[in-house]
Structure 1
């Protein structure tokens, strides 16, 4: 019994070739295609159909919760838990709570952004099927790769192989599962 591969991967020599291939693959209906390049390729995410992620929303929510938590902690300790009347000021004088509230909002936003980024990228991932392909180490140097995953709803082995071969890659290999 042979195991189904994780995907099919094509290797391209230039960023322009990768970008054109990504557009054609997305137009062909592949939703989970992945591209790998040694540097940022402008427009590649859009060519693959990536629109938005939720990291900014989680960052805002983390900042809001951090700021509210910092404010509540100060308010509770100054008004409810240990009220001290100093110089006739009101116990809940909010201007003195602003610096810590701001710092806690920034800290909460930073933690939320970091955790959301890790979750959105599926990290930490110590093993990835692409690491088993010997040619893939060139993705960090001078080659560009486009991978069609077998868990994509549009994936059918023969159709995917013909599509990738029609893009004129340097080579096309199966990625073992």
Structure 2
């Protein structure tokens, strides 16, 4: 039999999953994964997730979009195709504000989506946990905690003891 991708425990309640996630993090697992049919308050913190860089990339994307929109308008109105209309200055910045704002919002939105997808490792069309028995219940009424074998703290016997101590409904191997 080939080496397993990890071990997965199935829980009946969100509180049991939360308790299991805390125990796994306390045992040194830094790459544990949890799956639930709805958001569980405090689960990310229990798994040890910290702040992401998505807000930074969103700000930088908004800044780049706003500056790009302003520069595009300024260049076209002042350098490329200047028109003297009623003696107004060519670089009158108030007329550039609406497009600058919209480009900033567009740049921020694109940067946020791209940073979120990159941070989550998406798109990922196939994941080994999809092969776990009854994993489709994670979309309905079950909660799963997975300890992947690539985690530095993973030792098969110790992981089995940890999952058994959490009193799950059952635990299974996740095949490659």
TM-score bracket, shorter-length normalisation: over 0.9
Q: Aligned Cα RMSD in Å? A: 0.8
Question: Aligned equivalents of 1:95 and 1:21: distance in 2?
Answer: 57
**Matched residue, 2:76:** 77
Structure 2: unaligned runs, 5 residues or longer: none
Runs of 4+ in 1 over 4 A off after TM superposition: none
Question: Aligned equivalents of 1:29 and 1:145: distance in 2?
Answer: 18
Instruction: For residue 17 of structure 1, give the secondary structure of its aligned residue in structure 2.
Output: helix
Question: Aligned equivalents of 1:53 and 1:150: distance in 2?
Answer: 24
**Matched residue, 2:6:** 7
Question: Aligned equivalents of 2:166 and 2:38: distance in 1?
Answer: 21
**Matched residue, 1:133:** 132
Tell whether 2:33 aligns with 1:34.
yes
Q: Deviations 1:80-109 (Å, cap 9, x if unpaired)?
A: 111111111111111100000000000111
Q: Deviations 1:42-71 (Å, cap 9, x if unpaired)?
A: 000000001111111111111110001000
Residues 61-140 of structure 1 correspond to what in structure 2 (within 5 A)? Answer: 61-140=60-139
**Matched residue, 2:57:** 58
Give the Å deviation of 1:3. 2.5
Question: Aligned equivalents of 2:88 and 2:160: distance in 1?
Answer: 75
Mapped contact 2:133–2:172 kept (Cα < 8 A) = no
Q: State which drifts further: 51-60 or 31-40.
A: 51-60
Question: Aligned equivalents of 2:106 and 2:175: distance in 1?
Answer: 42
Give the Å deviation of 1:122. 1.1
Report the TM-score, using the length of structure 2 for normalisation.
0.98
Report the TM-score, using the length of structure 1 for normalisation.
0.97
Structure 1: unaligned runs, 5 residues or longer: none
Instruction: For residue 134 of structure 2, give the secondary structure of its aligned residue in structure 1.
Output: helix
**Matched residue, 1:168:** 167
Instruction: For residue 95 of structure 2, give the secondary structure of its aligned residue in structure 1.
Output: helix
How many corresponding residue pairs? 176
